[in-house]
Structure 1
Amino acid sequence: MDVVNQLVAQGQFTVLKQPLGFIKVLQWIFAIFAFSTCGSYSGMFKMRVECKNRTESNLGIEVEFEYPFRLHQVYFDATTCKGGKPDRSFLIGDYSSSAEFFVTIAVFSFLYSMAALSVYCFILEKYRENCKGAQIDFVVSAVFAFMWLVSSCAWAKGLSDVKTATDPERVITFIPACEDPENSCSEVYDAKVSGLNTSVAFGFINLILWIGNLWFVFKETGWMAALSGTYVPSQEKQPAPDTFAQGGYAQQDPYAGSQGGYQPEYGQQGGYNEEGGYSQGYEQQPTSYTNQM
């Protein structure tokens, strides 16, 4: 408990309060419900056969079946109403493929959710580093969402077939003694399949959770910013500014000060005059000469 309290104080489990971690907890819980309600199921239904000769009647024929629902291996013994050895009959159908596929997806979802929660709680920074962890998480989550869709639909169809194959009114038709109108055959009670109905419901709940989780994982991948065009590339190196142009300085004459001390002042820019000569376009102010002795 001290270790858990310390981790909580350090903020290790704050991600569980966010949609990313909270939905993963729900996935972990409902995956347990899915494979436990289906994988641990065992049921039984009961029938009765009343023969014309009451001493040969069988009023309690119990038929038990369980996961993975290989019903063609399930048999029961019923009276023939003619004396002698009871007649053995088998149920029809093998629905193990859809049931085992459903349970397998639930178990792997449980394991992956537990591993993802460990990553969220203890190495969330590495998970978000370069978005690689989030991108892998998104791909795996998309695969699990698709697998939940396929397995839930397959198991829903398989469960419907299991109910039909274990219907006592249908199974009675397999008993040879019930073909004689002098004998009376009826069901005592049906098998309770409410747990299997719940497993199908948990399968589709898991499908909704995994599809909903895709959005929150997608926001961690960085693909949203790339699609919206908000990525700003690094700017190219700009040339050095022209300090003379920015400062407003006029270009100085390289020959200034070399003509005996007069300082010309510049006005307009130069150009060619009518005589073909070049004029520098400035007005020369009167100058003064100082004769040195």
Structure 2
Amino acid sequence: MCMVIFAPLFAIFAFATCGGYSGGLRLSVDCANKSESDLNIDIAFAYPFRLHQVNFDAPTCEGKRRETLSLIGDFSSSAEFFVTIAVFAFLYSLAATVVYIFFQNKYRENNRGPLIDFIVTVVFSFLWLVGSSAWAKGLSDVKIATDPDEVLLLMSACKQQSNKCLPVRSPVMSSLNTSVVFGFLNFILWAGNIWFVFKETGWHSSGQRHAADTMEKQSSGYNQGGYNQDSYGPAGGYNQPGSYGQKVHGWEGKTGKVPRRKWGQ
């Protein structure tokens, strides 16, 4: 039930917070010649974070000439991989929900449905782990590449001490941080669901039958062994007839009385 409720919801949060991101930063270059300064250099970027394609103009503080620069790095592979996993996980969880509710008998027929569901669940758990880890590393690189202090180092005007280069606004990465969190939450959710799906498969049923058969054989072996034999029967010698009716050293076994011995005998 938790899988049916939370899997589509967590998947939506994962790809929405990553795939729908757009942000930017603002820089300021104050040249020695104030007429050449640019105090509002806006640089915008968005998913899928092909930063090397993000261009912006910056003053050189050498007359009116400006230079065209670009950010460094291409982090689209990890971001797109993460979003793709989230989208397919969302679609599969919706389809599985429909099957669980409306086609339960068809799902259990021939044990094919639970087996497919188990395999897909294991695959998605692995993909969520790999995708979330890759995107966490990619996000760390994106933060470095879009750090205003790092971007200022790309400008030739900022290499001259007579010019003042300052960061005005840093990009807000809270939604991207949230996407990583939901990525690992999805991994925990799908990995935890492996056991519940496995119990629906024939592998779990056959394992239970095998364990029951083993216990039955062991119990029958104990019943047939020496623990259940009548050790006090004729073979044991304790119930042998007439053993108490014999005379032992002159005692009368039948009456159990010891004859008195007369003096002088």
TM over 0.5: yes
Corresponding residue number in structure 1 for 2:228:
none
Distance 1:107 1:65 in 2: 22
- Identify the residue that residue 206 of structure 1 maps to in structure 2: 186
Matched with 1:226 is 206
The equivalent residue for 2:143 is 163
Q: Is the 8 A contact 1:79 1:87 kept in 2?
A: yes
Partner of residue 39, structure 1: 19
Mapping of 1:73-222 within 5 angstroms? 73-222=53-202
SS of 2:49 mapped into structure 1: coil
CA contact (8 A) 1:49 1:59 kept: yes
Question: Separation in 2 of the partners of 1:206 and 1:76?
Answer: 37
User: What is the CA distance between 1:70 and its match in structure 2?
Assistant: 0.2
Please state how far the C-alpha of 1:126 moved relative to its aligned partner. Answer: 1.3
Instruction: Give CA deviations for 1:16-61 in whole Å, capped at 9, x if unaligned.
Output: xxxxx33222011110110010001000001100111111111000
> Offset of 1:230 from its aligned partner?
4.6
Shift of 1:222: 2.8
CA deviation string 1:75-115 (max 9, x = no partner): 11011111123111111100000000000000000000000
Q: Distance in 2 between matches of 1:219 and 1:131?
A: 11
The amino acid that maps onto 2:203 is W
Q: How many positions carry a matched residue from both structures?
A: 213
Normalised by the length of structure 2, the TM-score is 0.78
Equivalent of 1:60 in 28, 40, 65: 40
- Asked if 1 retains the 8 angstrom alpha-carbon contact of 2:36 and 2:64, the reply is no
Give % identity. Answer: 57
Shift of the alpha carbon at 1:232? 7.9
Whole-angstrom distance in 1 between the partners of 2:129 and 2:91: 18
Q: Distance in 2 between matches of 1:151 and 1:22?
A: 22
Partner secondary structure for residue 115 of structure 2: helix
Q: Distance in 1 between matches of 2:98 and 2:211?
A: 31
Q: Distance in 1 between matches of 2:131 and 2:24?
A: 25
State whether residues 44 and 54 of structure 2, in contact with CA within 8 Å, keep that contact through their aligned partners in structure 1.
yes
Query: For residues 192-216 of structure 1, what are the alpha-carbon distances to aligned partners after superposition, in whole Å with 9 as ceiling and x for unaligned?
Result: 0100000000000000000011111
* Corresponding letter in the other structure for 1:48: S
CA distance in 2, matches of 1:92, 1:181: 24
Unaligned runs of 5+ in 2: 214-265
CA contact (8 A) 1:24 1:213 kept: no
Where 2:199 maps in the other structure, the secondary structure is helix
Would the aligned equivalents of 1:47 and 1:61 in 2 still touch at CA under 8 Å? Answer: yes
The C-alpha deviation readout for 1:152-211, integer Å capped at 9, x for no partner, is: 000000000000000000000000000110001010010001000000000000000000
Q: Contact (CA 8 Å) 1:225, 1:231: kept in 2 or not?
A: no
